[in-house]
Amino acid sequence: MHNESKFKTKTGYCHILPDKIILTRSGTVGEVSKIVVGNGISRMLIIYGVIALSSLYFAFTSFKSGENGFALLYLFIVSYIVYGITKSVNNSATPIIMRDKIKGVTFHSAKPGRTRAYFEIGFEDENGKLKNRLIMLPGSMNDGKNETEKALFIMEHADLIKPIRNTSRS
């Protein structure tokens, strides 16, 4: 492996070094995510919590005024957001992951029209807690298929994931 390999992500670049992985942000999307998320996800979880509470309020007022269909819709939104929050509690937005702290890396392929491809890195943080870092890859509007192939090649050659034999990666 070279001293450094890098590939595009949704918000910038992922630099694979011999001792660590560094995620940098660039462009408009990267700058917005720096402001909104920073290096932690707690701000985003709080925003989602406020949206959930607002939706819960709207569900209550809709139910009181006899609009049961809207009340159910708002309750569905609340359920979906709470589910997302509970799934995201152990996620991290840390920009640096030491390679010796990595417990595992998995690749999740894109589901066209629904999700983009991403890597999920399980690692131990500085407090000894197990965390997950998602590395979202570019979508179909940003040459996602080719960028995903490049990212997979780099991650395989850095011995972070096992080679994937399927050629229909997206």
- CATH number of the domain residue 138 falls in: 2.30.29
Residue 162 to residue 151: CA distance in whole angstroms:
13
Q: What are phi and psi of 95, to 5 degrees?
A: -85, -15
Number of domains in the chain: 2
Q: Which amino acid is at 169?
A: R
Q: In this structure, are 50 and 33 located in the same domain? A: no
pLDDT at 105: 94
Residue 68 to residue 80: CA distance in whole angstroms:
18
Residue 62 to residue 74: CA distance in whole angstroms:
9
Q: In this structure, are 50 and 126 located in the same domain? A: no
Q: In this structure, are 78 and 107 located in the same domain? A: no
pLDDT at 88: 85
Categorize the per-residue pLDDT at 72 as very low, low, confident or very high, splitting at 50, 70 and 90.
very high
Q: Are 105 and 119 in contact (CB under 8 A)?
A: yes
Query: What is the rounded average pLDDT for all residues in the chain?
Result: 85
pLDDT at 27: 56
Q: In this structure, are 103 and 149 located in the same domain? A: yes
169 assigned to some structural domain: no
Q: In this structure, are 52 and 83 located in the same domain? A: yes
Q: In this structure, are 30 and 52 located in the same domain? A: no
pLDDT at 28: 52
35 assigned to some structural domain: yes
Q: In this structure, are 26 and 97 located in the same domain? A: yes
pLDDT in tens, 13-69: 999 999 999 998 875 544 554 555 555 677 778 889 999 999 999 999 999 999 999
pLDDT at 114: 84
Residue 69 to residue 73: CA distance in whole angstroms:
6
120 assigned to some structural domain: yes
For 49, other C-beta atoms within 10 Å of its C-beta total 13
Average pLDDT over residues 157-168: 74
Give the largest CA-CA distance in the chain: 65
165 assigned to some structural domain: no
Percentages (nearest 5) of helix, strand, coil residues in the chain: 45, 25, 30
For residue 103, what is the DSSP state?
E
167 assigned to some structural domain: no
61 assigned to some structural domain: yes
Q: Are 112 and 170 in contact (CB under 8 A)?
A: yes
162 assigned to some structural domain: no
Residue 70 to residue 22: CA distance in whole angstroms:
45
Higher-confidence position of 164 and 147: 147
In the predicted structure, residue 164 carries a pLDDT above the cut 80: no
Q: In this structure, are 77 and 12 located in the same domain? A: no
Domain that holds residue 78: 42-88
The β-bridge relationship of strands 102-108 and 91-92 is unpaired
Q: In this structure, are 31 and 115 located in the same domain? A: yes
Residue 159 to residue 34: CA distance in whole angstroms:
29
In the predicted structure, residue 159 carries a pLDDT above the cut 70: yes
78 assigned to some structural domain: yes
What does pTM read for this prediction? 0.72
pLDDT at 167: 46
